[in-house]
Amino acid sequence: MEMECRVLTRYQQTKKINHMNTFVSRSAIFAIALTSVSAFAANPENVSVTASVPTVAVLSVDTNTVSSSFVLADYDLNTGAATKTAAAGSTFRVSTNRSWSLAVKAGSPNFSYTPTNVGDTATKPAGDLSFKLSTAGSYTAVTTSDQTLVTGTRGGYGTSGNTRIVDYSLSSNLNQDRPGSYAVTLVYTLTSS
């Protein structure tokens, strides 16, 4: 029977020890690396995101001109009175991020007048023009002071109540209005609150 007996030389022992040290060193580095990763993951950072939102209040109208022309058939030949309406004369749309109100007033106390016949003069009060929401209510005479037409809540044009239609009614009388053209400017003001 043969027996093998190995005796490690000093060089071989040193090499084996170095190999074990390298293995232990690599294991230690790996363990330290894992510890470091865990340490970073346990240290969260916060990021603050800020934004600034302005007050938005936009009023748009579908047309800036409403025309009414009286004809003979509009007049009551007994009293001389006539009334002309412009149903759905203006459509207003509101887009805002606050509650709002829409007011209307006349830009001047009287209509401007351009006579058909040279030398004619006439004074037609702005109050001969009246307005109302198309949905309901009665006509209100225009004044030179703001009158609240409607109020609403925040939202875009598509929000219920943020699109409003206005009807106009204009009165005339033969003993007051001479032939010619009359014009008055209405000032609509959107206020958000």
Give per-10-residue mean pLDDT for the chain (193 aa): 48 52 52 52 89 96 95 97 97 98 98 96 97 94 98 96 97 97 98 93
pLDDT of residue 1: 44
pTM > 0.85: yes or no: no
Q: Which residues of 149-163 are buried (b: 16+ CB within 10 A; e: fewer)?
A: bbebebeeeeeeebb
CATH number assigned to the domain comprising residue 73? 2.60.40
In a domain, 125, yes or no: yes
In a domain, 106, yes or no: yes
User: In total, how many domains does the chain have?
Assistant: 1
The residue range of the domain holding 99 is: 57-192
**Backbone phi and psi for residue 156, each to the nearest 5 degrees, phi listed first:** -85, -175
On whether the CB atoms of residues 145 and 126 are closer than 8 A, the answer is no
pLDDT of residue 136: 84
In a domain, 71, yes or no: yes
pLDDT of residue 43: 86
